[in-house]
Amino acid sequence: MVAINLIDYPRWPSLARESILNVPADIRNVKVNIDGRVIDYSGEVDSVVITGMGGSGVVGDIVSDLCWFWDCKVPIIVSKNMRLPRRLSKPLVIAISYSGNTAETIMSANEALSRGYPIIGVTTGGKLSTILSNKGVPVVLVPKASAPRYGLPSLLYPTLIILERFGIASVANELESGISGMERALKAIDEAERLAGELLNAIPIIWVGESRRGVGIRFKNDLNENAKYFAIVSIIPEGAHNDIAAVTTKQVGLRHIAIMGPNDYEGRYLETLLDVVSSFGAKPLVVKLEGSTPLESEMYGVTFLGITTLVLAHLLNVEPISTLPIDRLKEELDKRKLFPV
């Protein structure tokens, strides 16, 4: 196999370390005055809304996974929409957009401001940065990568620090282990090559438990965006009540792949599901997430599976970085003035 271009993956450990330096130390002392109404960042929050799309939005899914293991003090609401959920009481809103130009995220950020919620932007710049900074709202400016999804650690690590500063999760002791997870995956290229070879000529059905939803979604997104490959994520237990019924399909070739972490409470459930899937003739693959902390196994998973999709792109002779249909959709939305931003 020729050497795979790992794009920004080898920089992930340093992106994680660099990006957290940019979170303002005094973030809880911020007070923002919007049209005479003061938004006070020192107040108590009773939920965290993480809003963003695609490679930025997956940060919310990953944080949500981690909170199945950590003692997160408030619910994490993952929002991938142009509106915020209704009836929030005292939320902290974290608006994440790598480019800062994603209309859905800008609209959600504007809604947070008009509803008087404390909000923090995480971005490399763009309109989101300008709109928020002009109002005195804190923005964490993060280092750039070749495309949003390759900058994941730059978006995730500041978010974790924000959660720490707001007393929502105690993450400081785990950050280095997350970096170890990335480094470990960067050494597992042979394994990634083997797995990518197994995914050829079939639609991957990715089985994950609720507590690894983020790893499954990220893997699917990386298959879509890097390898331009369709894939489905089935989250169990729910997927065991519907998706599983289609394992007998004859219309398309399926490749079942289960992702399991070391201490996932859904582990035995997933094993049972795989036995049932196998009893219908399938030969499921199993990816075991390695790591001694939740963040380590999560970061091992997203890094290892991301690299696998780069290998798959290579095998398919597909250019991994560009995502022309996404760009075209954003242009069309812009042209048709769907969003007032």
Instruction: Tell me the number of residues near ligand F6R by CB under 6 A.
Output: 15
Residue 51 in contact with ligand F6R, rule: CB under 6 A:
no
271 is catalytic: no
HSE of 128 in the Cβ direction (CA atoms, 13 Å)?
Answer: 32
337 is catalytic: no
Question: CB neighbours (10 Å) of residue 296?
Answer: 24
The only residue of 225, 264, 266, 296 in contact with ligand F6R, by rule CB under 6 A: 225
DSSP bridge pairs for 220 = none
Minimum CB separation from ligand F6R for residue 115, in Å? 21
225 is catalytic: yes
Among residues 140 and 236, whose Cβ is nearest to ligand F6R? 140
Cα separation, 138 vs 41, in Å, equals 10
Please, are residues 293 and 177 in contact by the beta-carbon 8 Å criterion? Answer: yes
The only residue of 56, 293, 297, 308 in contact with ligand F6R, by rule CB under 6 A: 56
Cα separation, 298 vs 296, in Å, equals 5
Cα separation, 12 vs 300, in Å, equals 11
Only one of the segments 91-99, 198-206, 211-219, 272-280 lies at the binding site for ligand F6R (rule: CB under 6 A); that segment is: 91-99
100-139 binders of ligand F6R (CB under 6 A) = 102, 105
Only one of the segments 53-61, 179-187, 273-281, 293-301 lies at the binding site for ligand F6R (rule: CB under 6 A); that segment is: 53-61
Among residues 13 and 148, whose Cβ is nearest to ligand F6R? 148
Closest CA to 174 of 310, 279, 82, 67: 67
Q: Pick the catalytic residue: 104, 127, 220, 225?
A: 225
Sketch the per residue contact string, 146 through 165, with ligand F6R: x for CB under 6 A, - otherwise: -xxx----------------
Among residues 60 and 261, whose Cβ is nearest to ligand F6R? 60
Among residues 64 and 293, whose Cβ is nearest to ligand F6R? 64
Which residue in the block uniquely carries the two structure tokens 């091992």? 300
Among residues 2 and 324, whose Cβ is nearest to ligand F6R? 324
CA angle 257, 262, 264 (to 5 degrees): 80
DSSP 128-181: HHHHHHHTT--EEE----SSGGGGHHHHHHHHHHHHHHTTS---GGGHHHHHHH
Only one of the segments 32-40, 108-116, 143-151, 187-195 lies at the binding site for ligand F6R (rule: CB under 6 A); that segment is: 143-151
Closest CA to 213 of 268, 176, 266, 252: 266
The only residue of 12, 41, 98, 300 in contact with ligand F6R, by rule CB under 6 A: 98
Closest-by-Cβ residue to ligand F6R is 54
Query: How far apart are the two ends of the chain, measured CA to CA in Å?
Result: 46
Find the helix or strand (DSSP H, E) in which 297 lies: helix 294-315
**What residues are labeled active site?**
225, 241, 330
Binding stretches for ligand F6R (CB under 6 A): 53-56, 97-99, 102, 105, 147-149, 225, 323, 326
